[in-house]
Amino acid sequence: MQDMCIIPRPSETTLKEGFFQGRSLPPVTGDVRFSNETAIFRAQMNDAFERADNMRMRSESAAQSIVCAHGTGFADEGYGLIITEREARIEASGPKGCYRGLQTLRQLLAASLADSEGREFRIPCAEIRDEPRFPWRGFMLDCSRTFFSAAFVKKQIDLISMYGMNTFHWHLTDDQGWRLPVKGWPKLTEIGAWRTDYHVSAEPDHIVGGFYTEEEIREVVAYAAARHIEVIPEIDLPGHASAILAAHPELGCTGGPYAVEDRYGIFPDVLCAGTDKIFDFAAAVFDALGDLFPSRFVHIGGDEVRFERWKECPRCSLRMKEFGLGKPEELQAWITMRLANMLHERGKTAIGWDEVLHETEKLGLPENLIVMSWTGTEGGFEAARRGHRVVMTPMTDGCYLNFKPLDSQEEPGRLDITTVKQSYAFDPAPPVMTAEQAALVEGGQCNFWSEGIDSGRIAEYLVYPRLCAVAESLWTRPERKNFESFKGRLRAHRKMLDLLNVCHYRGPLE
């Protein structure tokens, strides 16, 4: 039996006789507890219908209707969707489930609308019952290497919500730019947010960059929250710190001079482990994050730290002696401990890339620190063996969407190849994990690093449809996954993405 064109594939789908169809969208009604969800759904569908020439949402009463109703026995994000010839009815225990059900209906309506070239919608009658496999289903967008507008960020949040994602990891700082306003530290945005870009122009005064205002950040966070997406900020510490050091050279080992990097790579200058000023800086940043982001989590980076400066720095040598450390690499564990404890005092939980596991035999790591495994899966296995919660996002398993989608010189992307099929095969908790380890896997995410990507349209081309493949890997249980089914459903989604003005890759999937 042919699948309905839903991504991620639902837990249970039973097709019935007949169709829910029409030439204008029926009115949407619901319990007052679901008023926010129905309002957003109306706005989303109006946006899609306005792109068609003759379709509009019908506001008067009609024989057909879309109804949201409170139900029992559903998981937090679970829902039921019953489609008859006269009604599309979403049932859920709470707003999250209601929203997920409405997004499934949004896909069906938009795909049908796109297929008919705006003449009508026609959806098979069916009964669907659905809930996600993992509680963490995320997408990371790097806005440091390339500064994307708040409007572009909100567009991506709306799209990922349609595919069942519930976490937006916002990478705000790196060597190439600082994007967060921090009270009392104006140079971070006055200096650290801008760089000379010789990739675009040979002129030395060609400056690129930008930063988000507090108002823009609050708007993005509220926009995401209304779509039941948690925004998790990342401030990369103590490495990838060129933008910080350009603004505040006193935080480095050598005192500079430093510059916001136009190059891409890993650089030797990091925050100086021998001065307490870096923790004064971190305190101000964490306070700013606490004010702007209600998320339970803050990502502190911790990846690709180089240790040359710490080996040569007299202050770092004194710090090592203070704590009886045998090598500079152990200073990173000490910094991670300090930062994680500072966040804990502010009611937040720290997340770090898997390098935070290195050289921790002497000082250890806070038990509540979450490890995000990117270099492969082994970091996640090791973190789980140590009792840490894990988010899997291995670049080796289809999660890095900045890689080329096809082995072709004509394709954009950097560093490696990841096909849609590889992204679809991703499993955050593979069978080789023990039951105890798998229980610590919160879920996974896909990442888009923006080195060498200076356009939102190219970013979208690389993200979609591989994000759809990862979304199904995070939502759908392994026994329900089927790549041939996914390929069939994706044909309808290509047209739907066109309707929604999303640039996307159209080439071979494997």
Residue located via tokens 């505040």? 248
pLDDT value, residue 61 = 46
User: Taking Cα atoms as reference points, which of 341, 239, 358, 266 lies closest to residue 298?
Assistant: 341
Do both 104 and 143 map to the same domain?
Answer: no
Residues in CB range of 369: below 8 A, 6 or more apart: 336, 340, 349, 350, 351, 352, 356, 388
Asked, for residue 52, whether it belongs to a domain, the answer is yes
Contact 429, 491 (CB under 8 A): no
Do both 119 and 173 map to the same domain?
Answer: no
The domain boundary residue, chosen from 100, 130, 160: 130
Do both 126 and 140 map to the same domain?
Answer: no
Supply the CATH number for residue 449's domain. 3.20.20.80
The domain boundary residue, chosen from 130, 145, 171: 130
Do both 401 and 459 map to the same domain?
Answer: yes
Asked, for residue 420, whether it belongs to a domain, the answer is yes
For residues 176 and 126, give the distance between their C-alpha atoms in angstroms, rounded to a whole number. Answer: 50
Asked, for residue 508, whether it belongs to a domain, the answer is no
Do both 349 and 381 map to the same domain?
Answer: yes
Asked, for residue 5, whether it belongs to a domain, the answer is no
Contact 460, 155 (CB under 8 A): no
Asked, for residue 453, whether it belongs to a domain, the answer is yes
State CA 98 to chain mean position distance.
21
Do both 147 and 125 map to the same domain?
Answer: no
The domain boundary residue, chosen from 109, 130, 151: 130
pLDDT tens digits for range 410-450:
999 998 999 999 999 999 999 999 999 999 999 999 999 99
Do both 119 and 153 map to the same domain?
Answer: no
Do both 142 and 93 map to the same domain?
Answer: no
Q: Which residues span the domain enclosing 114?
A: 12-130
Supply the CATH number for residue 19's domain. 3.30.379.10
Contact 146, 454 (CB under 8 A): yes
Do both 147 and 280 map to the same domain?
Answer: yes
Asked, for residue 505, whether it belongs to a domain, the answer is no
Q: Which two tokens stand for residue 79?
A: 């829902």
Beta-bridged to residue 406, according to DSSP, are: none
Low-confidence ranges of the chain (pLDDT < 50): 1, 59-61
Asked, for residue 349, whether it belongs to a domain, the answer is yes
Parallel, antiparallel, or unpaired: how do β-strands 349-353 and 370-373 relate? parallel
Do both 171 and 29 map to the same domain?
Answer: no
Do both 126 and 147 map to the same domain?
Answer: no
pLDDT tens digits for range 18-68:
999 988 888 888 888 999 999 999 999 988 777 665 555 554 446 789 999
pLDDT value, residue 1 = 46
How many CA atoms within 13 Å lie on the side-chain side of 127? 2
Do both 234 and 301 map to the same domain?
Answer: yes
For residues 419 and 469, give the distance between their C-alpha atoms in angstroms, rounded to a whole number. Answer: 10
Exactly one of 127, 219, 304, 382 is catalytic; name it: 304
Asked, for residue 228, whether it belongs to a domain, the answer is yes
Catalytic residue list contains 304:
yes
Parallel, antiparallel, or unpaired: how do β-strands 65-70 and 87-92 relate? parallel
- The total number of structural domains in the chain stands at 2
